């Protein structure tokens, strides 16, 4: 496809991910995707591995995992591809075409994932999805059922500083003004849930930012959006790697 044609088609799409399509063309996503990569701790070399990217949306992580030589990558999503939100599958499809990618796709809900439906994958990526689900423990059970070796979980966490496993519930639009956000565990609860669904080893590869940075971020959102400052201090993001 000619660069002019790529630019024209990119401009027709509302992007979530920021994907470098070559020719100096980068998709104008709301998500600073490349800057998140180092926090996920993906293995540098995935030769011979099968990979499942759950909640792939525009596919930034799927294409990156393919670039790391995965033998097969399956991108799955539902809400942002065919649901009531502002997302669509058009970005994924255009990026796959332009990148000449062989990433496969399947529209399926997290709670419908099972070995019978999609098979079992060596590496499973579950980034930015857990807090969107109404049944997080049940979701992790389904995710665990399709994970062969390594599960990478990246998620919003809350109640940082509390010293027992706990989950925050977000009625309405309490978290980020987004009605699709429901629950966030604290790190202890996330680890406990992952153990409950069969992972014996849960390693934090990127912990939530420490409190001085959290204070600064909470102050920023208090000023910009009027978000409650003291709740904001308890918010963060975490990446864990879970293995059996």
Ligand X SMILES: C[S@@+](CC[C@H](N)C(=O)[O-])C[C@H]1O[C@@H](n2cnc3c(N)ncnc32)[C@H](O)[C@@H]1O
Interface with ligand X (CB under 6 A): 31, 55, 57, 77-80, 110, 127-129, 132-133, 180
Cα separation of 62 and 83, whole Å? 20
Q: By C-beta, is 5 or 112 nearer to ligand X?
A: 112
Angle at 40 between CA 132 and CA 61, to 5 degrees: 70
Q: Of 28 and 161, which has the nearer Cβ to ligand X?
A: 28
Looking at the Cβ atoms of 6 and 129, the one nearer to ligand X is: 129
- From the CB of 175, what's the least distance to ligand X, in Å? 12
Of 165 and 174, nearer to ligand X (C-beta) is: 174
Q: At what angle do helices 60-67 and 90-99 cross, to 10 degrees?
A: 20
Helix pair angle (60-67, 33-40), 10° resolution: 60
How far, in Å, CA of 201 to CA of 151, rounded? 10
Shortest approach of ligand X to residue 81 CB, angstroms?
7
Least distance to ligand X, CB of residue 217, Å? 18
Contacts of 58 (CB under 8 A, 6+ apart): 15, 16, 17, 19, 27, 29, 91, 92, 95
Rank residues 17 and 214 by Cβ distance to ligand X and give the closer one.
17
DSSP codes of every residue in 93-115: HHHHHHHT---EEEE--GGG--H
84: Cβ contacts below 8 Å, ≥ 6 apart: none
Nearer to ligand X, 20 or 31 (CB): 31
Q: How far is the CB of 36 from ligand X (least distance, A)?
A: 7
Least Å from the CB of residue 76 to ligand X: 9
Which residues have CB under 8 Å from 196's CB, separation 6+? 137, 140
Shortest spacing between CB 57 and ligand X, in angstroms: 4
User: Is the CB of residue 128 less than 8 Å from the CB of residue 36?
Assistant: no
């Amino acid at each position: 496809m000619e660069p002019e044609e790529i630019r024209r088609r990119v401009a027709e799409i509302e992007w979530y991910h920021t994907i470098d399509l070559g020719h100096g063309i980068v998709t104008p996503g709301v998500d600073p995707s490349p800057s998140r990569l180092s926090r996920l701790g993906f293995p540098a070399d995935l030769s011979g591995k099968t990979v499942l990217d759950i909640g792939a949306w525009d596919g930034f992580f799927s294409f990156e995992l393919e670039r790391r030589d995965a033998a097969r990558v399956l991108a799955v999503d539902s809400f942002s591809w065919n649901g009531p939100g502002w997302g669509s599958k058009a970005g994924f499809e255009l990026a796959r075409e332009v990148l000449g990618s062989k990433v496969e796709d399947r529209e399926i809900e997290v709670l419908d994932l099972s070995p019978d439906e999609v098979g079992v994958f060596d590496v499973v990526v579950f980034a930015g999805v857990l807090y969107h689900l109404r049944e997080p423990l049940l979701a992790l059970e389904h995710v665990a059922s399709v994970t062969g070796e390594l599960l990478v979980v990246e998620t919003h966490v809350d109640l940082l500083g509390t010293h027992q496993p706990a989950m925050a519930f977000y009625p309405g639009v309490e978290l980020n003004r987004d009605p699709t956000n429901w629950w966030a565990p604290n790190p202890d609860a996330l680890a406990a849930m992952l153990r409950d669904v069969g992972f014996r080893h849960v390693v934090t590869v990127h912990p939530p930012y420490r409190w001085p940075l959290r204070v600064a971020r909470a102050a920023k959102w208090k000023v910009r959006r009027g978000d409650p400052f003291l709740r904001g201090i308890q918010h963060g993001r975490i990446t864990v790697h879970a293995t059996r």
